């Protein structure tokens, strides 16, 4: 198994209970945050049959969930009408690459104040996911993960979290305030995390939406080593199950 997959599995185990559902499906459930898709999904291995997908959908409906998500490391031969997203796993294979990243000496990296962290995430994630979900999700994540904050003066202008597992450090949920972009806030934050990972003998990696940031991360020295496929549906009427 690709070792970053083991690290990702350790992350999921922090929040979700996994159990076999059928021959090709494993169910992940987080009953403390039931409306978070990636913590309440079906992981597939091989190609699930139409009957398995039907059973999984009925299970979701019986739980009262209005969404259905399948995740795996190979594309589905039949997407059943669901929307597909591809995420790349990108590894910083050469720690020295981080030394070349531009940084801002005025940016201070420290554990963020949680009240400021919630407000920063609410400003950007609230309109997308709703204020209630954004706050509950942030509080759930920071129970188990290390958050890192980037400050200009006394103001939190950037954040992300990391998860450590074995030889790996995974960085995720990088966010920089609009009015502080192009000031090397993100690279200063990432440089600090990369240096700490290297000092601990670990390798930094992250996940990138295939249609979004891989080119930027590649220029920074990250190399794509794996990909995962996500199929999501929030309108069951569009599913093609016949």
- pLDDT tens by residue, 127-154: 999 999 999 999 999 999 999 999 999 9
Residues 148, 190 within the same domain: yes
Residues 47, 129 within the same domain: no
Q: Calculate what percentage of the chain has a pLDDT beyond 70.
A: 99
Domain CATH number, residue 165 = 3.40.630.30
Residues 106, 195 within the same domain: yes
| Residue 67 domain boundaries | 3-87+229-238
- Structural domain count of the chain: 2
Residues 78, 95 within the same domain: no
Mean pLDDT, residues 187-216 taken together: 92
When pLDDT is cut at 50, 70 and 90, the band that residue 210 belongs to is confident
Residues 172, 152 within the same domain: yes
Residues 26, 55 within the same domain: yes
Residues 101, 221 within the same domain: yes
Range 191-198 contact pairs with CB under 8 angstroms and sequence separation of 24 or more = 191/98, 191/101, 191/103, 192/109, 192/148, 193/148, 193/160, 193/162, 193/169, 194/92, 194/95, 194/98, 194/101, 195/98, 196/169, 197/95, 197/169, 198/95, 198/98
């Amino acid at each position: 198994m690709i070792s970053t997959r083991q690290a990702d599995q350790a992350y999921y185990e922090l929040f979700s209970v996994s159990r076999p559902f059928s021959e090709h499906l494993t169910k992940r459930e987080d009953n403390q945050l039931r409306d978070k898709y990636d913590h309440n999904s079906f992981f597939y291995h091989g190609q699930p049959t139409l009957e398995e997908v039907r059973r999984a959908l009925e299970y979701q409906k019986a739980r009262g969930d209005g969404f259905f998500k399948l995740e795996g490391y190979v594309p589905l031969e039949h997407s059943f009408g669901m929307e597909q997203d591809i995420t790349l796993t990108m590894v910083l294979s050469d720690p020295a690459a981080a030394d070349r990243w531009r940084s801002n000496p005025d940016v201070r990296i420290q554990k963020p104040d949680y009240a400021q962290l919630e407000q920063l995430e609410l400003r950007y994630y609230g309109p997308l996911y709703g204020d209630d979900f954004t706050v509950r999700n942030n509080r759930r994540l920071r129970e188990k993960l290390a958050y890192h904050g980037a400050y200009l003066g006394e103001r939190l202008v950037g954040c992300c979290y990391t998860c450590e597992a074995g030889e790996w450090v995974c960085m995720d949920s990088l966010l920089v305030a609009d009015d502080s972009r192009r000031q090397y806030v993100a690279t200063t934050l990432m440089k600090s995390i990369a240096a700490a990972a290297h000092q601990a003998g670990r390798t930094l990696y992250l996940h990138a939406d295939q249609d979004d940031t891989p080119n930027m991360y590649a220029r920074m020295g990250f190399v794509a080593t794996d990909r995962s496929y996500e199929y999501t549906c929030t309108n069951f009427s569009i599913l093609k199950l016949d």
